[in-house]
A and B are shown apart, each in its own frame.
Chain A
Amino acid sequence: MSATARRLGAGLEAVTDPVTAIVLERPAGRGWLFAFVAAVVLTALLGSGIWVLLVRGVGIWGIDIPVAWGFAITDYVWWIGIGMAGTFISAALYLTRQSWRNSLNRYAEAMTVFAVSVSGLFPVLHLGRPWFFYWLAPYPNRMGLWPQWRSSLLWDFFAITAYLLVSILYFYVGLLPDLATLRDRARTRGRQVFYGLLALGWRGEARHWQRFETLSLVLAALAVPLVFSVHSMVALDFSEGLLPGWHTTLFPPFFVAGALFSGFAMVLVLGIPLRQHYRLQAFITEAHLDKLARLLLAVGLLVDYSYLCEVFFAFYGGDRYEIALTLNRLGGAYAWVFWTTIACNVLAIQLLWLPRVRANHAALFTIALLVVIGMWFERFMLIVTSLYRSFLPSSWGMFYPTLWDLGFLVGSIGLFFLLFLLFVRLLPAVSMFELRRGVSEGAERRS
């Protein structure tokens, strides 16, 4: 074995060993167990909430007429937005050959799959009769009834379904080589069978690799437009309505930017503790965090620009309802929601201009967390403040959340983290084969 090859072998092991160790060797640890129990409790809360919801109806929430959409739709848009960054990082950066993404894409994709799954619960649960949600699907039936094609809710249903399927496929296909690694390294019979079944007989043949590359490329090419379509469709759920505050052409790009924004923030919120806890500093480096922070700032500025546009166009358009709505947002009963949004999504991120802040993990984590929270408030603002005062003053109302509203929000966070914690312990959190390829390509370049 030549020296180069030995060095390369050591380099490859430096990738594989720590990553597989998290799954195969390290004990669960107190931190993980604590987080796991907390997540299970919150998930149980969500489960009991769903039970009560199915038995009693959506009236357990605070929604009313005129505010017929509340927390459920806010949660839905929030979660699906969070999901976006994973696909963007793994697919868009893959297509543009940004190889630094390799250490981020795995957990970001997992985040996408889990966030989209969690978000998918809400549009179903928010229905008055959730057990009939499948009526949205265009299936032949004896009544000869089809969905109503002009409704954006229908297309949203298709968009989410397609997005979820492609995300899961892309995530799973990308896992195959690493699953094979885990299979090969597993020492117990159970794990060998588990990972062996998941690895679908991957042997690392050239033929495998060739098909794998083609499929990855195709899926990535599919996923990127889906990212944009799903968030545009979510936006159309609102802008199809004629309500001031919803009825605007700005919404689709605005929602895409908002989704990227919250997604990048969530990648940071998950990544910083992850690398800390599992000592992945070698993979998720300072440079990665810095790049993510810059991306967060860039997308944040785009979102802020949209806020500005919304206010500007209300007055520029001169429509009295739009103006009244804008003034209401800025100074009405829910003004605190608006200003919280501004504080989180506009002011907080300005700190990211400073390299010092970007290098400070605690500050970065805090800012990212604020953005995640701020984006929730932004969605709440967009939905509730547009609804609570519509055209006729006689039907103005308010929205007061109930404990179940909060329960579903907290419970959905619990479910997300439950899935994510299981992912960390069961699957490689970092894409080993891509990093190994990086190592060998680097070695080749050096030799």
Chain B
Amino acid sequence: MPPLSPTRSAAVEEIRRELAGKHGAAFWRSLEELLEQPQGLQRLRQAVPQVAALDPVLDRRSFLGLLGASLALGGLAGCSGPPPEQIVPWVRSPPGLRASEPELYATTLQIGAEVIGVLVQTYEGRPTKIEGNPAHPASLGSTDAMTQAAVLELWDPDRSQAPVQHGSVASWDDFQAQAAASARQFAHDGRGLHVLSGRIESPSLAAQREALLHRYPGARWHQYEAIDDDNAREGALLAFGSPLRVRHRFDRAAVIVSLEADFLGSMPGHVRAARDFAAKRRPAGSPATMSRLYVVEATMSLTGTNADHRWPLRATDISALAHALATRLGVVLPSDSPGSAQNGTDHRDATRLQALVGDLQDHRGASLVIAGETQPPLVHALAILMNQILGNIGTTVEYFESPEPREGSAASLRALSESMAAGEVDTLWILDGNPVYSAPADLHFAARLASVRHTVHVGLFRDETAARCAWHLPRSHSLESWSDLRTYDGTASIVQPVISPLYDVRSLHEILALLLGSSPTDGRSIVRATWSGRLGLHDEQAWESVLREGVIRDSAPAALGARAELRALPPDIRTRAQGSLDLLFRPDPTVWDGRYANNGWLQELPKVVSQLTWGNAAWLSPALATRQSLANGDVIELRSQGRSLQAPVWIVPGQADETVVVSLGYGRTVLGHVGERLGYDANRVRSASAPWQAQCTMAPTGHHLELVTTQRHHVMQAEVPVRTGTLAQFRANPAFMQADSSTPPSLYPQRPAGEYRWGMSIDLNSCIGCGACTLACQAENNIPVVGAEEVARGRELHWIRVDRYFQGTPARPHVHHQPVPCMHCEHAPCELVCPVGATVHDSEGLNVQVYNRCIGTRFCSNNCPYKVRRFNFLQYADLRSPTLAARRNPEVSVRNRGVMEKCTYCIQRIEVAHIEADRGMRRIGDGEVVTACQAACPAKAITFGDTADPAAAVSREKASSRNYLLLEDLNTRPQTSYLGSLRNPHPELQDDT
């Protein structure tokens, strides 16, 4: 609870005196008398603003009830005994709502840079789990980890719950008065009114922006995202003369060249990209073919870990490489181009370039060159030109016009900052963002904000910006509000609430309507009005079908047939000072730009590549760390443009030398219980002019920090866990991976006695290592967050982990990802050693953990060769926070301390299928049971089903010649098996492998 303001506590005190000593009916009577008094309501308004605001909406009786409850919570002598009203239990549920069964609602979420359509699972109206919406183009039924965690954000007990004025709780009425005053003040032309929002992905928000700028022509609307696509837009502007947006078709691309583009990890549309990319990675046809991915990047990205050829290159050298590549492909460039001087290309680079050019030219129309957001506009323009000359435009890549107005983040925020410095900003509305934290340091945003007279912040949390604004208005969560969003390819969909707001909060649209004084004022009407042209204002059928499907069909803008051409090259501003290092900024793979920092699930999810949790580090290449004698956890000081930052070191194989990588999103100071005071704030050395690359120097400080990781060893001792090979090997002998595998004989029964035999197959060739499975499992199975200290002790509870192995040299490693759930061994070592039979085998091949019976000897974990068992060393499940309890999946028991737990193959979902099948007197069909990890997996690497049915998808997967069992020689006979991973290197670049 926020502290009470002095006037408010005085009001409460006064009422407390009047009601003192009154209980039960007398209490209620006194309350009623109080209301009768002149100024009574006014006093109550002061004391309990949230409730008083509801006065006109509620009938008198409910109002009194709420008021009494609020006063009781505020510390007054409250109710004792039952209320005098007759209360009636809910004997018959409303039609259509069955208490025990979940309902799915389609909606859309904006997660990081991604807009993704989802289905929200609710039990009795409580959202518990998020699945992808199969109808939505950005999802196709899958999600990423951050999307999975949105449901925890909804239930976060630290969310902001009421409007706050100057640090004390206020009412929406008070704010309405303030908004009316603003409206009067700016009635003339709106000069001095500035609005700062995030990137506008919502057509309704765009419409409201139009309305605002129409009404207040002098007002300015800024957009800022700490992680935006400025460079791509400017690149398109260079090439097309218009800021076109791009959408890639990875399912059509046989050869992909990524110039630092992390299209699998952080680019918009990455969930869909993973699906399309993985589909092309499955060796198909005869002779077998699969796509080939070249990645040139300075630091290891998720995409880089999946490359066939990955060339570490300093970020500043990539434009030169792009230039050379474009030239060789035949792109005509202005002669004075800066990158044309190919200094220092050795023989190896020339061979590579040669092979790359040949490969691209062999796949005209089926190749793809992508530039990453972190690369300058020139590289984006060059990528467009290369795609054009390769005939890829229209096949693997399309360009279209953004229907919503976009502004470059850096320029837009700089303009605002300069206006603030010039004293031109009288009123600033910050619509959902946290610029005080996320603005680059050179804009001095926080300091300049102090000079603005009226400041209003809208957000989910009372964060750094809220603390510095006069007003903070709590925004409703996306799962509580109406809106609309447009995804990476331009397809629009509706955001519908799946639960009424938990607190006294309003959606962004409603708050804007309040500020504008416009009508309609409720979110649903605002959104419907936006789509009245397309869906009709009264066509309920069309509206409902859009809501049900979760996507507005054919709303994506058509691809344009524009022709790209480069008339003049922009000057290459990136100069490298002698002896300095490249300082690169990257979004954090789990907390993004810091907005998810209070999300325990995301904090505890091991970050791609580094496997760090609960913090960030400065990444160094092994060579650089060795030269500077730095080890993991040593704190260094980074200096860049007169600003400095202290950060612990994390050594990352495969990173370009002379490069330091810092990640955004940490070092939050005002947030909540989970996310404050973790890691360092990279924004302190970031500048708006060069948000992704800068130069820096580095000095050791002599301090050391223990970083929290879930995996301390990354080198495979012999190729035991992950079997790999090349496509060429596979073509020569498809079963080459099974050469030395054989299951030893056994006297025990070979297979379970039951009708079904559940099994899982994980295709390591498809798996991109994103970690969505881990989080989906956490959400589905009520897995608690244990915190940094416990993770440091090695006590994380994830039921499915994604192991990361590096192979080859530290400078150019190959990376392998391996998701490891419980193997459900047919001859399980854990079952043998439990003295009380708490882990037993069932008739369908499942290895079942009986929590009630477990006494916690932990012998099963010791004896598990896969180490997939997890133990509740302490009371990890939070039994106290009511909102976290409401989030839980009611189908899965909550484990208390002292009990072992592990992956169950989502037995609750198997049981649901059993019940359905029994009702229909039939067998469970193939694909009827989908585990949480399988559902979430963007790459569809996980297949689950009944292996007793030879026609089942899982049986077909297991019949593959790449199929193998993990640690087969131990004779545990796992039901989970793997398909080995293949790489498809260029035949002429064998020395790369």
Tell me, yes or no, whether B420 is within 8 Å of chain A by CB.
no
Contact A65 B899 (CB under 8 A): no
Tell me, yes or no, whether B421 is within 8 Å of chain A by CB.
no
**How many contacts A-B (CB < 8 Å)?**
166
Shortest CB-to-CB span from A43 to chain B, Å, is: 25
Contact A154 B897 (CB under 8 A): no
User: How far does the alpha carbon of A237 sit from the alpha carbon of B832 in the complex, in Å?
Assistant: 11
Tell me, yes or no, whether A157 is within 8 Å of chain B by CB.
yes
Contact B865 A242 (CB under 8 A): yes
User: How far does the alpha carbon of A67 sit from the alpha carbon of B795 in the complex, in Å?
Assistant: 10
Shortest CB-to-CB span from A318 to chain B, Å, is: 13
Contact B832 A391 (CB under 8 A): no
Scan A280-299; emit 1 where CB is below 8 A from any B CB, else 0.
00000000000000000000
Tell me, yes or no, whether B854 is within 8 Å of chain A by CB.
yes
Tell me, yes or no, whether A147 is within 8 Å of chain B by CB.
yes
Scan B711-726; emit 1 where CB is below 8 A from any A CB, else 0.
1111111101100000
Q: Which of B826-853 contact A (CB under 8 A)?
A: 829, 832-837, 853
User: How far does the alpha carbon of A396 sit from the alpha carbon of B866 in the complex, in Å?
Assistant: 11
Residues of chain A within 8 A of B793, CB atoms compared: 62, 64, 400
Contact of B873 among A58, A320, A324, A398 (CB under 8 A): A58
The answer to whether A394 and B829 touch (CB under 8 A), given A57-B872, A59-B897, A151-B859, is no
Tell me, yes or no, whether B402 is within 8 Å of chain A by CB.
no
Contact A241 B875 (CB under 8 A): no
Tell me, yes or no, whether A243 is within 8 Å of chain B by CB.
yes
Contact A391 B866 (CB under 8 A): yes
Contact B898 A129 (CB under 8 A): yes
Tell me, yes or no, whether B30 is within 8 Å of chain A by CB.
no
Tell me, yes or no, whether B871 is within 8 Å of chain A by CB.
yes
Residues of chain A within 8 A of B795, CB atoms compared: 59, 64-65
Tell me, yes or no, whether A34 is within 8 Å of chain B by CB.
no
Shortest CB-to-CB span from A126 to chain B, Å, is: 8
Shortest CB-to-CB span from B903 to chain A, Å, is: 14
Tell me, yes or no, whether A434 is within 8 Å of chain B by CB.
no
The answer to whether A135 and B833 touch (CB under 8 A), given A320-B718, A392-B867, is no
User: How far does the alpha carbon of A395 sit from the alpha carbon of B716 in the complex, in Å?
Assistant: 11
Tell me, yes or no, whether B805 is within 8 Å of chain A by CB.
yes
Residues of chain A within 8 A of B837, CB atoms compared: 145-148
Q: Which of A51-92 contact B (CB under 8 A)?
A: 56-60, 62-69
Contact B867 A135 (CB under 8 A): no
Contact A394 B711 (CB under 8 A): yes
User: How far does the alpha carbon of A358 sit from the alpha carbon of B782 in the complex, in Å?
Assistant: 63
The answer to whether A129 and B856 touch (CB under 8 A), given A148-B837, A324-B717, A393-B717, is yes
Residues of chain A within 8 A of B721, CB atoms compared: 392-394
Tell me, yes or no, whether A133 is within 8 Å of chain B by CB.
yes
Tell me, yes or no, whether B900 is within 8 Å of chain A by CB.
yes
Residues of chain A within 8 A of B712, CB atoms compared: 396-398
Tell me, yes or no, whether B863 is within 8 Å of chain A by CB.
yes
Residues of chain A within 8 A of B857, CB atoms compared: 126-128, 153
Tell me, yes or no, whether A310 is within 8 Å of chain B by CB.
no
Residues of chain A within 8 A of B720, CB atoms compared: 391-392
Contact A393 B805 (CB under 8 A): yes
Tell me, yes or no, whether B321 is within 8 Å of chain A by CB.
no
Contact A128 B856 (CB under 8 A): yes
Contact of B856 among A127, A152, A157, A387 (CB under 8 A): A127
Contact of A397 among B716, B794, B873, B874 (CB under 8 A): B794
CB nearest neighbor in A for B716: A393
Tally of contact residues, A, Cβ under 8 A? 50
Tell me, yes or no, whether A304 is within 8 Å of chain B by CB.
no
Residues of chain A within 8 A of B668, CB atoms compared: none
Tell me, yes or no, whether B458 is within 8 Å of chain A by CB.
no
Shortest CB-to-CB span from A60 to chain B, Å, is: 8
Scan B786-818; emit 1 where CB is below 8 A from any A CB, else 0.
000010011100000101110000000000001
Q: Which of A106-124 contact B (CB under 8 A)?
A: none
Tell me, yes or no, whether A335 is within 8 Å of chain B by CB.
no
Contact of B898 among A64, A127, A157 (CB under 8 A): A127
User: How far does the alpha carbon of A66 sit from the alpha carbon of B967 in the complex, in Å?
Assistant: 17
The answer to whether A393 and B853 touch (CB under 8 A), given A64-B793, A127-B898, A128-B897, is no
User: How far does the alpha carbon of A55 sit from the alpha carbon of B190 in the complex, in Å?
Assistant: 63
Residues of chain A within 8 A of B820, CB atoms compared: 392, 394
Residues of chain A within 8 A of B856, CB atoms compared: 58, 127-129
CB nearest neighbor in B for A399: B794
Q: Which of A370-398 contact B (CB under 8 A)?
A: 387, 390-398
Contact of B871 among A65, A242, A390, A396 (CB under 8 A): A65
Shortest CB-to-CB span from A248 to chain B, Å, is: 14
Tell me, yes or no, whether B855 is within 8 Å of chain A by CB.
yes
Contact A128 B871 (CB under 8 A): yes
Tell me, yes or no, whether A142 is within 8 Å of chain B by CB.
no
Contact B833 A241 (CB under 8 A): yes
Scan B941-974; emit 1 where CB is below 8 A from any A CB, else 0.
0000000000000000000000000110010000
Tell me, yes or no, whether A189 is within 8 Å of chain B by CB.
no
CB nearest neighbor in B for A394: B803
User: How far does the alpha carbon of A126 sit from the alpha carbon of B858 in the complex, in Å?
Assistant: 9
The answer to whether A68 and B874 touch (CB under 8 A), given A148-B834, A153-B857, A396-B713, is no
User: How far does the alpha carbon of A145 sit from the alpha carbon of B840 in the complex, in Å?
Assistant: 13
Contact of A128 among B801, B834, B898, B966 (CB under 8 A): B898
Contact B794 A66 (CB under 8 A): yes
Contact of B833 among A240, A395, A398 (CB under 8 A): A240
Contact of B858 among A69, A320, A391 (CB under 8 A): A69
Most B C-beta atoms less than 10 A away, residue of A62, A148, A150, A394: A394
Tell me, yes or no, whether A136 is within 8 Å of chain B by CB.
yes
Contact B805 A394 (CB under 8 A): yes
Tell me, yes or no, whether B869 is within 8 Å of chain A by CB.
yes
Residues of chain A within 8 A of B872, CB atoms compared: 57, 128
Contact A68 B897 (CB under 8 A): no
Most B C-beta atoms less than 10 A away, residue of A133, A237, A391: A391
Shortest CB-to-CB span from B790 to chain A, Å, is: 8
Contact A241 B834 (CB under 8 A): no
Contact B854 A129 (CB under 8 A): yes
Shortest CB-to-CB span from B840 to chain A, Å, is: 8
User: How far does the alpha carbon of A397 sit from the alpha carbon of B792 in the complex, in Å?
Assistant: 10
Scan B65-89; emit 1 where CB is below 8 A from any A CB, else 0.
0000000000000000000000000
CB nearest neighbor in B for A389: B713
CB nearest neighbor in A for B875: A57
User: How far does the alpha carbon of A438 sit from the alpha carbon of B809 in the complex, in Å?
Assistant: 76
Sample 16 A-B pairs with CB under 8 A, ordered by A number: A65-B794, A66-B794, A126-B857, A148-B834, A148-B836, A153-B833, A153-B834, A153-B857, A240-B833, A242-B863, A243-B862, A392-B865, A394-B805, A394-B818, A396-B713, A397-B712
Give me the interface of A with B, judged by CB distance under 8 Å: 56-60, 62-69, 126-130, 132-133, 135-136, 145-148, 150-154, 157, 237, 240-243, 320, 324, 387, 390-398, 400
| Among all A-B residue pairs, the 3 with the closest Cβ atoms | A128-B856, A128-B898, A59-B873
Given contacts A57-B898, A153-B857, A324-B717, could you give 11 more A-B pairs where the C-beta distance is less than 8 Å? A57-B874, A59-B795, A65-B861, A65-B867, A127-B857, A151-B833, A151-B859, A240-B863, A242-B829, A242-B970, A243-B865
